Every structure is written in structure tokens, then in C-alpha cells.
Structure 1
Amino acid sequence: MSDTRNVIVLIIAVMILQVAGGLISVLTPLGLEAMGTPPEAIGLIAALYAAGFMLGAWLAPRTLATIGHIRLFAAASATNAVSVLSLSLVHDELFWAPVRVIMGMSLAFSFTSIESWLGSVVPEKSRGNVMGIYHTGAKLSLIIGPFFVAGLSPLDTRAYTWAALFLSLALVPVCLTRKEQPVLPERRSMPLMALYQLAPAAVLGALIAGIVNTGTQSLLPIYFEGFKIGGGGTAAAAIASGAAWTGGLLLQWPAGRLSDRIERRLVIAGLGGMSALAALFIAIFGTRLSEISVIIALGFWGAGALSFFSLCVAHAIDRTPKVLIPQVMSGLLFVWAGGSIIGPLLSGFAMRADGEFGLFGLAGVLLIVLTIVMIMRVRSKPVAIEDKLAEWSPVLPTPLASVKLDPRMSDRDENPAEETAAEEAQEEATGDATEEGPDSQTDTEAAPESKV
């Protein structure tokens, strides 16, 4: 628990931030629908939000290296608060579209700041546990958030004021923390090919998480708005959103703990399989079930679909030197955002074509693909990552010896001259790989995953 106490301030900040996130996730699609926006256009605006997130994830490492973790989080949260308030002032989808791009960029900056900080200070032996607590707290906040607007019109100014209040309040714990910030990262972003070679399972998992989770959730409030439960409208949408996030809340921490003890990719496969079955159950039998039964099935979908991304992150960080964690975190967020651009568009057309069968049928098929991919990755024969990492890494700002990346380090400690020569060779090889581009990268995709 001491590892958790060291980062509790960061966890609290994200929990406050995600209360606003839960509010906005319900308000945005319902507000657009209230303005007469068709489902395809709602999906397009959700995709624009994801494009902003993707752009923010790409820019985050160099911005983080310039101004630091605390300032980046503060600036991003303030920008997000202003953006939310502006949505309540102008009820026009042509205005909302670019504002949602700005909100996506701001949120990517916030998460890169916090999650790279977490990844840098949490040891590997408890990474799954701490990340599980972190994501459990975030999910709890996402569940609570929509209930602040239950019963309000989706275009009521008070609803957007609530979201802006929480976005502003999230600044307080981060700005007042006395914890030392991690060493600032390199300004450059990690090439996607290098990220894939480092952890292919994590990259594919992040992509599918973006497609399935963002696509399904962007239209979930519209699908459940017609339900009578809770009085219908925003209340029914809030209950549905809460059910999905409750499922993720209940399973997130146990899944993280389990992944510290067995192969993380097997845990991801199990989560994907469970959520696939739940999605297909809703798709096939949803119209013949009671509303309560659909809500319960949605909880099982959320338990798997909304839990596996954090394990993909932990799997990637297991293979990453500390000085490269911000690049890896922003890279995974970039991939997730890429999926989030595709997801709402696919889900919008699927829902237009065949209602709940199209929406949840698409999610079920993609989650089956996730399960198969993870099992195939586990079955592949690994090679030692320590022998390959230097060939694609950017130049490290600190000596390798200082961060103890190589388990053979103790053998060189007895001979300082050999250690210095090894470090010089490492830097020379790294520079060559950087100049040659992604095609020169060595394939480390089957590298073994560290487990406790």
C-alpha cells in the first residue's frame, strides 16, 4: 500500500477530473440529439473529439518536456473547463465540433501528465495493483458524474457548470502536491513502429479499446434514452452509463492484481471474451429482454471492455525503461485515440443500419478479435528484450547504469572502464537507429513480459 500512498494525490486528481468526464460523456450525445443532430453526425463529432485527443497525445511528450507535469495538467484542465462552459453558451453542432477537438487535446495532455508520472514512480512488482486502484477510482467517478445531471435537460446550463466546477477542482491536489516530479522526458515522440516492436499486444489492445469502448459509449445514451427505467431520458442514460462503469469498477482492481501474478495478456484475453459474450447477448436477445436484464448484461460488458486497457498499459510499461515511459504512455494514448476516431463512425453506421443489434454486434465481434490476438501473442516464442531495446530507443538523458535497465549490470559494476565503454556503445547504436528511421528497428515484439 505504500506505493499507492506515494501517488494518492495523482489518483484523487484524476478521480475529480473523471467526475466531469462522466458528466460530459452523457451530456454531449444527448445535447447534440436535442439540437436535431442525426446519429452519423453525432458519431462524427465524437470522432473529431478523438482526433483532438490523438493530436494531444502526439504533442504531449514535447510539451511535457518543456513545461513539466504539474503545469501541463493545470493548463489542460483550465482549458477543458472553459471549453465545457462554451458549449452551454452556443447550441450549434458546427460550434460544438471544433470545441470538442480542443477538449480532446486537453484531456490527452491531462492523462499523459498523470499516467507518465504514475508509470515513472510505481515499481513493477506492484504496477498492476496500483494501476488497478487508479482505474477503479476513475471508473467510480465516471459512475457518479452522470447523476449530477439526472433529470436536467441535456442543454441546461447548470449541467455544464457542474462539469466545469469539477474540471477546475481537479487542479487543486496536483498544484499543491509536495511530491517531486519525475525527470522530464525527451522532447521527441516514439515512432509507432518502435512502440509496436516494444509491445505489440499492448498496441493492438489499445486500438481495439478505442474502437469498441468509445464507439459503443458515444451512442449508449441515445440507445438507452428510450428506456423507462428511472423515468427515461437523461436518468435512464445515467443508469445505463453507471451500469457499464460499475462492471468495470468491480473487476478493474482484481484484474490488475491477477495480472501481477500471471501473464497479463491472458487476463486481457479473459476480459475480452467475457465482454464479447455480453455484447452478443444484448445484440441477439436485447429486444426480447426486460430493461433490467439488458442493464445487467451491460454491466458484464463494462466489466470486461472497460477494464482491459489499463492492463495493456501495464504490459507495455513492463517492457519500458523509466526515461521512455512518457513516450510510451502518449504513444498508447495516440493509438487509442486513433481507434476512437474510427469507433464512433463505425458504431453510428451500425446503429443506423440495425439498431442495438448493429451497435452491440460490432462490439462483440471486435472483442472476439481481441481475445484471439492476446492468446496468439502468448503462444508466440519470446526473445530477451534487454538485448534488443537499444537498437530502437532514442538517446537516453541519463546513463543506462543509473536506471538499472540491464539485469547483467552487476557484472559490469566491477569494471568501471568496461561499463563506460558499454554506455558509449549504447549511445552510438541508439543514434544510428534514430537516424535510420522506423525500418531499421529490431523486432522485439515477442519479448517476454515481466511478472511477479
Structure 2
Amino acid sequence: MIKFAPLYATVLFTQISLGLLTPLTPILLLSHGISTFAIGIVASGYYGGTLVGSLLVPFVLMRIGHIRALVIFCVVAADATLLTRGVATVIPWIAIRFVVGMCSIGVFTVVESWLNASSRRSVRGRVFGFYMFASWTGNVAGASLLSAFKSASSLLMIGVGAFTTALLPITILTRVGPALPVLARLSMRELLRLSPAGVATCFAAGMSSGMFYAMFPVAMERAGLHQDGVSIAVSLCLFAGMLMQVPVGLLADRIGRMIIIRLALGIAIAACAGLWLSHTLLWFAVFGAVYGATAGVLYGLGVGLTADRAAQAQLVGVSSGVLFAWASGACTGPLIAAGAMAVLGYSGVFAMLMALFAAALAVVLLGRQPAREDGGAVEEVEVEA
């Protein structure tokens, strides 16, 4: 895992910035008197950027390689974020968040394709376990900065600084990266044919994340909990998800990713049922932590499962494809959850999560996924300065 430390550090600082800027953006927009509806459109602009970026990044990566691509994405994201200072109208904000969304998905596509290309199937679970641990740690750290600093301007500068700091581990500590990929284009249909269980798992991870973290606080408030209690329950979910990444990755390498995915989906369904029946902070916190520990590991497992089935030339396409599946789910999740809550009350979000995980579990149970025999690592090449 030591050789991947610069990549993990890059992900950590990128997620610190994203974890800070995601909740900071609506705060800044509200301070300019922008409506709630317009704030929602700005948020959609970010996810629109992730969708478009997942389609375009493979071509950038094919032309300039992993290291240069990471530098470009981090610099452009920092510059775009810096432009938001003093902007008080919606259209520029949409454009800026769209660019940041493209760049953030670019960073993750590059890192994931690098990890896939440089790791063998027998250790891919732990490799992605540490990757997801770095991602979740950065997200938690970024969100916690909101309460540590009161000045929105200072927070914005910290977000810009985190993007630029994400460059340092790669540019200082890394001289070699995977050889320039020969891009084997993968349509979503081909990706589904390659690994229906892996794609379904990544889609479910994205949609559940969009549903849960957007609407779980709303559900608890409607159940009568105070803001402090809501904060405690959400924090437990995040910490549980963060702490489970590496152990689950190690276990997946030992007994198989399909088995772990099935267990995680089954336990997540039970956790959602418990949340549906919860009325007090204690039970929201307990079942929320169980939910975070199981639903939070799905994406890394889904990526590993899909990569196990792919040829080396397909790994960049796999990375962008599963991120597209994740982003598609994350975009639609909050809308579906909000509609369910309008019909069923605050428990509607938990009902939809149970249905989502049940559907994903059905796909996984029906799918058989023999691993390729050529799932080794590719050579690394030195990158000229």
C-alpha cells in the first residue's frame, strides 16, 4: 500500500475541499439572497459536471497520461473555486460548479484507473479499502471545518488551498505512473454485460448516498429530533462508513467481493427497516451507524468487482463507467426520496432505500462473475518533467 500513498493523499485533500465546499456553497448563495430553488439548480450543475466529466476524462487521460491529468484537474478546480469569491448571480455559479464537478470526477477517474492498473486482483479489495478510507476521511474533515471557522471567505480559501495541496503528493513523490492507456471504449450496455452486479452495486451506492445524506436529516427533524441530535446521528453514519472501508476491503480479498456485497446489501436493508421504525435519537443513531457501515462500502466493492472482470485496456473505461453509474444514481436519488417522503411521510426515504437495495441484491444474487485470468498489474513508465 505504500506505493499508493501519494494517490491516497491526493484523494484525501481533494475530498477535504469537496467536503467543505458542498455545504459551504448554499451558505454563500443564501448570503447573496439567492432562492432555495436556484440553489438546487446550482447543486444540479455540479452533478451535471460529474456526468459529463465521466464521459470526457478517458480521452484526456489517453492523450496526456495520469500525472499530468491530475495536475490539470486540480489546478482548474482550484481556479474555478477561486472565481466564486464575490459572485452573486446564479448563472456564473452554475458554470463554476459544473467545472468543479467535471474536475472532481476527473481526479477520481484518474486515481481509480491508476489503482486498477497497478494492483492485482488478489489485493484489489484492500487497495480500494484504503482509497475509500482516504475519501471518507477527507469528506468528514472537510465538513467539520464549517464549525471550526466562521468566516465564509476564509473557508473558501481553505477549499482552494486543499485542491492545490492535492497536487503535492503526486508531483513531489511520484515520478512514474501507468503507461498511457490504450482506450477501449465501453458503452454502458457493454459495461453492464461485463459486470451487471458491479455496475448495479455502484449505481445503488450513488443513489443511496444521494437519498440518504440529503433526506436523512430532514426525516429525523420531521420525526421530532433537535438539530444537535441530527448532527450526532449523521456523524455516526459517516464515521461508521469511514472505519469499515479497510477491514471490508481485506475481507473481500480473502472471501470474495460477491459474498461481501450480498451481506452488505442484506444488512443495509435490515438497517433501513430499523430506521423506518425508529422514533428516538438512540435508534436513529444505532441503525444509522449500521447503515453507514454497510452502504458506505458498496462503491469500493462494486469497482473492484467490475475491474476483476475487465481486460487491462478496459480499465480506464471501467473507472469512468462506474463513476458515471454512481453519479447517475446520486443525481436522481434526492428527487426520488423527496417524492417518496411527500407521499409516505418521513419514512418514505427508508422505504425507497429498502426497495433500491432489494433490487440491487436481486441483480447480485442472479449474477455470476468469474474473474479474468489476466487481471495483473500493468507496467509503469517514467514521466518526463
TM-score by length of 1: 0.75
Q: Tell me which residue corresponds to 2:3.
A: 6
Relative to 1, partners in 2 of residues 1:81 and 1:225: Cα closer, same or farther, differing over 3 Å?
Answer: farther
Letter aligned with residue 190 of structure 1? L
Shift of 1:295: 3.0
Please state how far the C-alpha of 1:103 moved relative to its aligned partner. Answer: 1.5
Residues 1:344 and 1:49: Cα distance change in structure 2 (over 3 Å):
farther
SS at match of 2:185: coil
Segments of 5+ residues of structure 2 without an aligned counterpart are 380-385
Which structure would you say has the larger RCO, counting Cα contacts within 8 Å and 6 or more residues apart?
2
Q: Residues 133 and 273 of structure 1: is their aligned pair in 2 closer, same or farther, counting only changes over 3 Å?
A: same
Q: Distance in 1 between matches of 2:376 and 2:170?
A: 31
Q: What aligned pairs does 1:213-228 form with structure 2 within 5 A after superposition?
A: 213-220=209-216, 228=226
1:196 positional shift: 1.4
2:204 is aligned to 208
Contact 2:52 2:102 in 1 (8 A): yes
How many Å separate the matches in 2 of 1:101 and 1:374?
33
The one-letter amino acid of 2:348's match is G
Query: CA separation of 1:162/1:267 partners in 2, compared to 1, >3 Å: closer, same or farther?
Result: same
Partner of residue 280, structure 2: 289
Q: Compute the displacement of 1:266 (Å).
A: 2.0
More off after superposition, 348-357 vs 50-59: 348-357
Q: Give the Cα separation in 1 of the matches to 2:219 and 2:23.
A: 12
Pairing of 1:280-429 with structure 2 (within 5 A):
280-285=273-278, 288-290=279-281, 292-354=282-344, 356-378=346-368
Cα distance between partner residues in 2 of 1:316 and 1:126: 14
User: How far apart are 1:58 and its partner, in Å?
Assistant: 0.7
- 1:123 is matched with 120
The residue that corresponds to 1:186 in the other structure is 182
- Which residue is equivalent to 1:253? 246
Q: Secondary structure at the match of 1:136?
A: helix
Q: CA deviation at 1:159?
A: 2.3
Alignment partner of 1:90: what SS? Answer: coil
Alignment of structure 1 residues 109-120 onto 2, 5 Å = 109-120=106-117
Partner Cα separation in structure 2 for residue 384 and residue 75 of structure 1? 34
**Partner Cα distance (1:278, 1:402) in 2:** 37
Structure 1 residues 353 and 79: CA distance shift in structure 2, 3 A: farther
Paired residue secondary structure (1:335): helix
Q: Distance in 2 between matches of 1:120 and 1:270?
A: 27
Partner of 2:267: 274
Task: Note the residue ranges of structure 1 that are not aligned, 5 or more in a row.
Answer: 390-399, 405-452
Q: Do the aligned partners of 2:186 and 2:321 also contact (CA within 8 Å) in 1?
A: yes
CA distance in 2, matches of 1:79, 1:315: 32
Match status 1:133 vs 2:137: no
State the identity %.
27
How far apart are 1:243 and its partner, in Å? 2.1
Question: Considering only CA atoms, is the larger Rg found in Structure 1 or Structure 2?
Answer: 1
8 Å CA contact 1:203–1:332 kept in 2: the answer is yes
The offset of 1:254, in angstroms, is: 1.7
Query: Does structure 2 conserve the Cα–Cα contact (< 8 Å) formed by 1:243 and 1:299?
Result: yes
Calculate the TM-score normalised by the size of structure 2: 0.87
CA RMSD between the two structures: 3.0
Which of 69, 72, 82 is 1:75 aligned to? 72
The residue identity in structure 1 corresponding to 2:307 is I
Distance 1:15 1:281 in 2: 32
> More displaced, 70-79 or 24-33?
24-33
Number of corresponding residues: 376
* Deviation at residue 263 of structure 1 after TM alignment: 3.0
